[in-house]
Amino acid sequence: MADSTSIKTRSGLTFTADVAGPIDGPLVLLLHGFPESRHSWRTALPALAAAGYRAVAPDQRGYSPGARPDPKDLSNYAFDKLVNDAIEIVAAAGHEGRRFHQVGHDWGGQVSWGVAAVHAKRLASLTVMSRPHPKSFRRALEKPDGEQKNRSKHHRAFLDAETGKLLLADNARRLREGLFGQGVPASAMDEHLSVLGAPEAMEAALAWYRANVGLAADIGMIEVPTLYIWGDVDATVGPDAAYGTGEFVSGAFAMEVLPGVGHFVMDQAPAKATDLLLVHLKKHPV
């Protein structure tokens, strides 16, 4: 079982996190996406603990009440700060300067690509779910005859000041039927909304998009051994962006396609994704 705790970083932010496994085990940092939370990793944490890993899954900047700087100042949600949070959480979890495994889904995947680009020597492995390499994503998005633009149209909507209110109105109906309406169980939606359902949390989460328009992080080739997991009915990320990801990884690379699975891999196929993760970690020990 995972325990919920608070992790205070040197920047003065306090992150709510679920942790599991031996304190001295190799650390696995798991970063959730939008509109989810640390609860994405409910299946992975006990499995990682049983395999001897120390698993740490925080509610990220803006999602954790103690790590929620003013979202009106978008500099608080700049990409370099999101990446630095990951490194500071690892340090506060007792692994400063030590190598660790980085795992991320969706926005957490975007941050994970950033950690791998800037702190390659710190990582034993990288696992990203759903979110393609930023350069592959950008290339697909800019194709004049491509369909990634349509899949990503919600990003533009997230820039509107009224979006947060609309997403939470009527018991978050638009989230439940729209973004989550890709086969995510109702119980999982409820867990995520227990974190993201407050207006202040939603505004902070949307600040990630507003501070980083187009997800256009300048991330080059990735040297870290990488596993990329993508569901082939992902409504948000199309095959062009997904299958192009390997072109931007110079280290060992494996791509696993989950048939019939959508964008929210850990809510829709948690056992399969966790099994793939464990195999990858074992191949690339700290």
Mean pLDDT on 32-61: 98
Question: For 45-192, where are the E strands, in sequence order?
Answer: 54-58, 100-105, 123-129
Residue 40 pLDDT exceeds 80: yes
Preceding amide of 22 cis, omega within 30: no
pLDDT, tens digit, for every residue of 138-177? 999 888 877 887 777 766 778 888 999 999 999 999 989 8
Tell me the mean pLDDT in the region 57-68. 98
- Per-residue tokens: 37: 């939370």
Amino acid letter for position 80: D
Instruction: Tell me which H or E stretch contains 110.
Output: helix 107-118
Q: What are the tens digits of pLDDT across the range 97-141?
A: 999 999 999 999 999 999 999 999 999 999 999 999 999 999 998
CB atoms within 10 A of CB 232: 12
Please enumerate in sequence order all residues whose Cβ is within 8 A of that of 163, keeping only pairs 6 or more positions apart, or say none: 157, 206
The pTM assigned to this predicted structure is 0.96
Which class is domain 3-283? alpha beta
Instruction: Identify the CA nearest to 211 among candidates 110, 89, 91.
Output: 110
Q: Which is more confident, 144 or 10?
A: 10
Percent of the chain with pLDDT over 70: 97
Provide the β-strand partners of residue 17.
Answer: 5, 58
Q: Which pLDDT score is estimated for 214? A: 60
